[in-house]
Amino acid sequence: MKTLTLARLLLAHDRAALLRLLGIVCGVAVGTALFLTLWGFSQGITARTERATWPDYATDGTAGIHASELVGELPPDQIIISGNSAVLYPSLVDHFLDKRIGVVRIAATEDSTVAVPGANPVPRPGEYLASPAAAALIAEYPPELLGNRYGQSAGVLGDEALGSPGSLLIVRGATVEEMRLQSDAFVVSSLAGKAFSTSAFRIAAIVGSIAILLPVLLLISIITRLGAAQRQETFATLRLMGATPAQIARLAVLETGITSLLGAVAGGALAWALSPLFAQIQIDNERFFAADIQPSVPFALGIALLITVATTLVAWVRALRSQNTGLGASREIVEKKPGLWRLAPLLLGMVTLAGGGWLSSHYDLFSGLSEILFSILFVAGFVAILVGLVLAGPLLTWWASRFAARFSRSAAGVIAFARIKQHPQAAFRAVGGLVVAVFVVSFFFAAITIARVDTDDGAGAAEATDASLSGTGDATGNASERAAARPAPPLLHASLSGGYTVADMDAVQTQLEAAEGVTGVVVVSYLEGPAGEEAASSEGAAVIRATDAAVLGIPQAEVPDAPWIAVPPRYLPSAYVPSDADPAHPIQAAQFADIEELRPSYLLVAYGGDELMCERVRTTLLTSSLRLVMAPLTTAEMRDDGSANAFIQEYAYLANLGVLIATAVSGISMAVSTISSILDRRRTLALMRLTGMPHTALRRMIAAETLLPLFVVFLLSTALGFIVAQLLLSGLTEGRRFVDFSLLDPMYFVVLAISLLLATAAIVATFPTAHRSTALTATRFE
């Protein structure tokens, strides 16, 4: 209690000390909240994946027999399920406008005992259950656009079937007979989801968490040093008065212990309170249920306790160490000149990453092992680099300050750079968080230029198809000129189940052409010869009726005078265009002996109008008697499916979010440490102002003190981000690939600019305080 009394006495009138304690509470609170939230996300992803994967009957490896193999009646302890959730097979979903809707069909007996998540009872044939988000979407549009696709609504699907509150999922009831004809229908006796996560995701999660938490740790470390000079003086006076080092350390422990416990508990509460807000953050294009990302109370309390113990321990050790200087030592807090060893972890990390890439590319034989090895090396290397950056920073700052000091002309510069030279660690600590954030984001954006190369190849090919269809591209030569003359017909692509004949299709065609919005229907068939479909397509020949050529926008002049014509792939919308397709391959008359040799493969349906008309026609197709392999797709959707681009955008979004959080935290760090360094020199700076140093000189001094480390940071972390990405990629590809600067996402520069702006704002924000605390009346001069 004596310690407590002393502590209260010391704090009563010391504004810097009170500010410091308040800062510790806030800093620890923010840190704890961020940690718990990040943890919550990792838990939440597992939890929701486990729930959302229930329709993926194949995930647990116990998929039963195919529905067509079912003999006799369906027993009540089994159901037939077909269709997949969006998680594993995103191509097997329905589309509506820019949204994807998972559609699951289930056939069950009236007295079925199989539990279907969220569906109790299982919808009858012709009925469906929709997730809340899907139900809202259906209600928003006329039934001919969407609702009619699934039948009669039988209610809302329970949350236990959904990964996210935004999940679009439909569970349809079907008859056993319908299911027997479905190519992806299986008989199962139970349904259970399974949590899985790719190692890429796990790596990204670990690295991202570190990148966000490191700035917070630095912030806390800065806050605990607030007013250090004054504190050191007080402690020295206490020691002079006879206090033992242990007593003073106890004082520090008490202070830090209470404040960080307060902070940690507040942080837990903050994480809890903000979880509905954080739940809006999208990962894999899905929001979260708030409950999924709320850590359990015992866990949160445990973490709060752990954090308290850790900060208190650090405070104790630091207090004991600072007493070692003995009595009568100078009032100055001395910082040792940073040593060269500080570069070691950084270099080690770079070597590890480069080596990891190289190793995993050279030992492909044990691919499973190599992936684990690579994950470990990658994370280890990356963490070493992050920590290495923070360690190397002071040394580089010190070098830069020596260099800058030599060339500085103004009083502000001389004062600022001398300060940095004497306190490189403190100077760098202020911007250390930003280093980490900028490095991670630079690395990320550099690394994804590679993926961009890949997807751009794909997109380029797709554009070529598009160009030949729509005539807007600039494909080379004659083809493009011919293409330019053609109108751009928007098309829906509907894959047919097997077993249809040309004769069947004639009826369908007439019927469809009569439907609202349909402006043309083309049946695309392939010749079924000894070599089957493959022979035909390698020749580039899909067969259509000559009279349908106009629907695809093929000019009459190019159509040979024959009832059936063979059309090269470039005239058809497709996700995949063979690169060896001859661009000049002409349209020819189709050669076949019997019309029975033609196997209708898919329909191309032209719809005149906007995207709503497209959905109307899509609904018409889905509600017709046609048996389709999957829901009809537009050309754009065909291309989009399975593309890595959406995936990358997703990570880019998370990276940007992370870097902005880290930057905001770093901004606070910069402000606090600037104030702290002003308070430490308060008397002297006030005296300088008294002798006539103008405001501008004080401001310039503050700016220079922060901008130099900031400059070092940006140079270092952006450069290193690119170098590390290069090391890793060239290791992985055995030197075949390079970071392509021309493919850098402009977003990268936007994020960098925002970071710089935030940092500058943080510095400017300290001006008034700096001004006030060095005011002539704030200090008494004797």
Partner 1 sequence: MTHTPAPSAPLFCARDLRLSFGLTEALRGVDLTIRAGEILAIMGPSGSGKSTLLHVLAGVLVPAGGSVVYDGRCISTMNEAERARLRLTEFGFVFQFGQLLPDLSALDNVSIPLLLSGTGRREALARAQELLAVLGLQDCGDKRPPQLSGGQAQRVALARALVARPRVLFADEPTGSLDSLASEQVMELLAATVRSFGVTMVVVTHDPRTAAYADREVIVRDGQIRTGFDL
Ligand X SMILES: Nc1ncnc2c1ncn2[C@@H]1O[C@H](COP(=O)(O)OP(=O)(O)OP(=O)(O)O)[C@@H](O)[C@H]1O
Q: Which of residues 379-438 bind partner 1 (CB under 8 A)?
A: 408-411, 414-415, 418-419, 421-423
Question: How many other C-beta atoms are found inside a 10 Å radius of the C-beta of residue 362?
Answer: 11
Pairwise CA distance, residues 312 & 224, whole Å: 11
How does strand 564-567 pair with strand 542-545? antiparallel
Q: Which does residue 739 touch among Mg ion, ligand X, partner 1, none (CB within 5 to 8 A, set by kind)?
A: none
Pairwise CA distance, residues 298 & 478, whole Å: 72
Question: How many other C-beta atoms are found inside a 10 Å radius of the C-beta of residue 728?
Answer: 25
Total residues contacting ligand X by CB under 6 A comes to: 3
Nearest to 192 by CA among 377, 4, 63: 63
Closer CB to Mg ion, 407 or 781, in the complex: 781
Residue 372 in tokens: 């684990």
Closer CB to partner 1, 228 or 450, in the complex: 228
CB of 201 to partner 1, least distance (A): 47
Q: Which does residue 423 touch among ligand X, Mg ion, partner 1, none (CB within 5 to 8 A, set by kind)?
A: partner 1
Q: Which does residue 688 touch among Mg ion, partner 1, ligand X, none (CB within 5 to 8 A, set by kind)?
A: partner 1
CB of 249 to partner 1, least distance (A): 25
Select the residue whose beta carbon is closest to ligand X and give its number: 782
For residue 587, give the DSSP letter. P
Q: Which of residues 329-368 bind partner 1 (CB under 8 A)?
A: 330-332
Closer CB to ligand X, 334 or 775, in the complex: 775
CB of 15 to ligand X, least distance (A): 16
Nearest to 732 by CA among 462, 419, 373: 373
Work out which of 627, 681, 699, 771 binds partner 1, going by CB under 8 A.
681
Q: Is 777 near ligand X (CB under 6 A)?
A: yes
Q: Which does residue 383 touch among partner 1, ligand X, Mg ion, none (CB within 5 to 8 A, set by kind)?
A: none
CB of 775 to ligand X, least distance (A): 10
Closer CB to partner 1, 330 or 742, in the complex: 330
What would the x/- binding string for ligand X be over residues 720 to 759, using CB under 6 A? ----------------------------------------
Say if residues 757 and 764 touch (Cβ distance below 8 Å). Answer: no
Count of residues in the chain: 782
Pairwise CA distance, residues 694 & 507, whole Å: 90
Q: Is 231 near partner 1 (CB under 8 A)?
A: no
Among the listed ranges 52-60, 451-459, 628-636, 774-782, the one in contact with ligand X (CB under 6 A) is: 774-782
CB of 411 to partner 1, least distance (A): 4
Residue 647 in tokens: 């995936």
Closer CB to partner 1, 13 or 331, in the complex: 331
Burial 439-451 (b: 16+ CB within 10 A, else e): bbbbbbbbbbbbe
Q: Is 782 near ligand X (CB under 6 A)?
A: yes
What residues form DSSP beta bridges with 564? Answer: 545
Burial 363-385 (b: 16+ CB within 10 A, else e): eeeeeeebeeebbebbbebbbbb
Written as one letter, the residue type at 609 is: G
CB of 742 to partner 1, least distance (A): 43
Nearest to 661 by CA among 379, 434, 442, 384: 434
- 3-state SS class at 744: coil
The DSSP code sequence of 645-675 is: HHHHHHHHHHHHHHHHHHHHHHHHHHHHHHH
Closer CB to ligand X, 761 or 778, in the complex: 778
Total residues contacting partner 1 by CB under 8 A comes to: 32
Q: Which of residues 763-782 bind Mg ion (CB under 5 A)?
A: 782
Q: Which of residues 691-730 bind partner 1 (CB under 8 A)?
A: 691-695, 697
Closer CB to Mg ion, 98 or 782, in the complex: 782
For residue 26, give the DSSP letter. H
Q: Which does residue 148 touch among partner 1, Mg ion, ligand X, none (CB within 5 to 8 A, set by kind)?
A: none
Nearest to 43 by CA among 300, 378, 379: 300
Longest dimension (CA), the chain: 113
CB of 779 to Mg ion, least distance (A): 13
Residue 89 in tokens: 């097979």
CB of 654 to ligand X, least distance (A): 53
Closer CB to partner 1, 535 or 697, in the complex: 697
Cis peptide before 121 (omega within 30 of 0): yes
Closer CB to partner 1, 2 or 409, in the complex: 409
Q: Which does residue 330 touch among Mg ion, partner 1, ligand X, none (CB within 5 to 8 A, set by kind)?
A: partner 1
Residues 134-139: contacts with CB within 8 Å, 24+ apart? Answer: 134/101, 134/167, 134/168, 134/169, 134/170, 137/96, 137/99, 137/101, 137/168
CB of 778 to ligand X, least distance (A): 9
CB of 776 to ligand X, least distance (A): 9
Closer CB to partner 1, 281 or 414, in the complex: 414
CB of 685 to partner 1, least distance (A): 8
DSSP alpha helix (H) spans, 283-335 = 290-293, 297-322
Q: Under 8 Å CB-to-CB from 71, ≥6 apart: which residues?
A: none
Closer CB to ligand X, 742 or 777, in the complex: 777
Q: Which does residue 697 touch among Mg ion, ligand X, partner 1, none (CB within 5 to 8 A, set by kind)?
A: partner 1
Closer CB to ligand X, 741 or 781, in the complex: 781
Binding site for ligand X (CB under 6 A): 777, 780, 782
Binding site for Mg ion (CB under 5 A): 782
Binding site for partner 1 (CB under 8 A): 330-332, 408-411, 414-415, 418-419, 421-423, 681, 683-684, 687-695, 697, 776-777, 780-782
